[in-house]
Chain A
């Protein structure tokens, strides 16, 4: 490359006589420089200059080394950070693939034909019919008004005077009885006879029974329908008319 640039030719031209001719062309300045060099060779100054040059070279080497090491360190750290980031991205990608695969499996398992098959064989759920939906709160209130008669209230019995101390609940009586005294009646007969006022514990049971009875007689919540119609609504969805 240097030969191509003509440097070789310049070097050959500047050797031998050519160099002398070149000096001769600048005889004024070079003569002065040659004089001062001779003076320097004779004085102790050249040693200092040599040291300076050595020191400069050492400094240059040191600075170069420092820059090189520093650059390498920075480069190595950047590379390490990049590798870490890439590993993280790779882990993210792997996780994304796993999530994707899991989603695919779930989608396959919950495919609509399968859900319908389960519904037809097991769940047997059906869409709500028009009669099961109310137009608003007013319609709901109408259903409350026409609610079937409930049995006579029983909680008012608490206001009545208590003639005798109330017997304990059957279960409690069994647990707290110190001695198995001969009971006048079996525990199953503990509830008072119909004519007698029920004890508090049995009152609660009666209320529960009454509530159950009321639930059985009143429309299902939100359906707005008596039970008979609800039963009709749960008929198969796809009857074919004759």
Chain B
């Protein structure tokens, strides 16, 4: 006789002694289980049916759509008018599986070198004899070259399509746009700063819009290159900025590099962004800022106030004017004649604390608040060393090094009514409020505009005057620092910072030459007025019509505030 097992399951022997009621209960349980099972099967069939209907009627999943392949891997970068500055295309690349190569590898290297002459034969052979399973031989090869390589019939050669970054304008704005590395990650400039944004697949169809205007950029670069060549300068740089929004319309840094083939290391001179990374003592271009500080702080009570031009002895050094006038100068004359002594006196009256506070408001003590990551730290004395000597020298643009973009932003503040807008490389949305902080009053700004205009018409910046465009600005010549310390009297950094049109300023232009050697045809002078001011004028003459600034020979800004306070030319 069988017995029930430990789990209580009925064995045939036990069933014989089961009572009728127990069998009924077992039947009931069995029927319940049957119903549950049938229900589960029906539910499963129902779900299957729903899925079939969904597959038959509903749209296929997006991942299966081949149309998705059209989306670029990295978003484009365009200028403010939609001109493409960086885009992505699918280029051919030659790779190799060394173990699958048939025949003589040296002969194959010769054959590949004949097709790809720019690729060294040794590098090709090194790739063919590589120990790994897969390596690249060459990238960005032309379609006809790819076809010739395919005809070699080598099973170990692999022709692959891969996304490559293309910069249609080559070196144009290369320092700002930057470039991508071999794996497609941003390595410099906007490409680096906005790498995540550009790689975001949800926004790959949405280009990144810069504030740059490609036409203005081209003009700035070509004029600077022209002047750099004529003057035999080591380097050149320039920036064009909208004074009312802080948008940077162009930045140029020469020598430049082709973003399509950047090569080398980021530390090379051609890769240095002199507008945001290079810091310079900008010399006399700083004087209008000091004068505006004095006017705003009230230490200059009147524009008619005069300042002696006799030298100031500070320790072992004496501050003198380059071209002493031999008489006290009014405030406008201090700017027009670029008086070091006059500006130092104004800075002395201003004092360290107020000078430092104004410099901080104008952003001179911080890195420039722009979007790219290549930004230089400004150099200025420590608080303990910021004594009278520093106050005086900073007043006329020495003893402190800032980027040209800092200077452009400060000039925009000077002429736009006194509001400091942080510079930006991205186009601001139309109608959106522009962030800004008031630094100078409207009156101080108006006085600065008048003095800057007079500095061009009567002073050292005459060669920067573009007829009809009411240019105002200031020259600046600063001696370069020697590597071992001290200043090199034979090497200058010449700068011109200005704005136009001065009756209603719209754009600031700052241009700079590093160590100009002088143009014999132009007199051989090495000061800013001789070396860089003509480039400023040419830039304005070409850029103003593009930007919609109307020339008018009979219009002049209101110089009533400074009328009679300076001696006009020819009188």
Q: Which residues of A contact B (CB under 8 A)?
A: 1-2, 5-7, 9-10, 13-14, 18, 21-22, 25, 71, 74-75, 78-79, 82, 86, 89-90, 92-94, 96-97, 100-101, 103-104, 107-108, 111-113, 116, 127-131, 133, 135, 237-238, 240-242
Contacts and interface: CB of A to CB of B under 8 A. Distances in A.
Contact of B66 (A18, A93, A100, A241): A93
Contacts of B57: 78
Contacts of A7: 30, 33-34, 37
Closest 9 CB pairs of A and B: A130-B468, A10-B30, A130-B551, A93-B70, A107-B168, A89-B67, A112-B218, A93-B67, A5-B33
A133 B544 CA distance: 13
A104 B87 contact: yes
A112 B215 contact: yes
Interface string B458-473: 0000010001110000
Nearest to A131: B553
A237 B542 contact: yes
Interface in B201-231: 214-215, 217-218, 222-223, 226, 230
Contacts of A92: 67, 70
B522 A241 contact: yes
A135 B550 CA distance: 10
Contacts of B72: 100
B26 A9 contact: yes
A74 B57 CA distance: 9
A79 B66 CA distance: 16
B56 A75 contact: yes
Nearest to B551: A130
A2 B29 CA distance: 13
23 contacts: A7-B30, A9-B30, A13-B15, A75-B56, A89-B65, A89-B67, A93-B68, A104-B84, A104-B166, A108-B166, A111-B170, A112-B172, A127-B542, A129-B541, A129-B551, A130-B469, A130-B553, A238-B226, A238-B534, A240-B521, A240-B522, A241-B463, A241-B534
Contacts of A116: 218, 222
Contacts of B314: none
Contact of A22 (B27, B60, B218): B27
Contact of A97 (B34, B70, B84, B218): B70
Given A5-B36, A13-B23, A96 B31 contact: no
Contact of A238 (B27, B70, B538, B545): B538
B486 interface: no
Interface string B79-105: 000001001011000000000000000
Contact of B170 (A10, A82, A113): A113
Contacts of A94: 70
Nearest to A128: B545
B69 interface: yes
Contacts of B519: 240
Contacts of B542: 127, 237
A234 to B, nearest CB: 14
A78 B53 CA distance: 11
Contacts of A107: 84, 87, 168
A89 to B, nearest CB: 4
B214 to A, nearest CB: 6
A116 B37 CA distance: 82
A111 B172 contact: yes
Contacts of A75: 52, 56
A21 B21 CA distance: 10
Contacts of A9: 26, 30
B230 A240 contact: yes
B24 interface: yes
Given A1-B37, A79-B56, A108-B168, A242 B522 contact: yes
Contacts of A13: 15, 23, 26-27, 30
- Decide if the interface of chain B is mainly helix, strand, loop or mixed: helix
Contacts of B226: 238
A127 B543 CA distance: 9
A10 B67 contact: no
Given A130-B468, A240-B230, 13 more contacts: A10-B27, A13-B27, A22-B23, A75-B52, A93-B69, A97-B70, A104-B168, A112-B217, A116-B218, A116-B222, A133-B550, A135-B552, A238-B226
A79 B67 CA distance: 18
B306 interface: no
Nearest to A21: B20
A107 B166 CA distance: 10
Interface in B500-542: 519, 521-523, 534, 538, 541-542
Contacts of A133: 550-551
A86 B26 contact: no
A127 B545 contact: yes
B37 A112 contact: no
Contacts of A2: 37
A75 B54 CA distance: 10
B346 interface: no
A94 B550 CA distance: 46
A100 B56 CA distance: 34
B475 to A, nearest CB: 14
A10 B34 contact: yes
A49 B571 CA distance: 132
A34 to B, nearest CB: 20
Contacts of A101: 89
Nearest to A74: B56
A178 to B, nearest CB: 64
B122 to A, nearest CB: 31
Contacts of B522: 240-242
B171 interface: yes
A235 to B, nearest CB: 12
A2 B223 CA distance: 89
A111 B66 contact: no
A13 B12 CA distance: 10
A241 B24 CA distance: 119
A97 B67 CA distance: 10
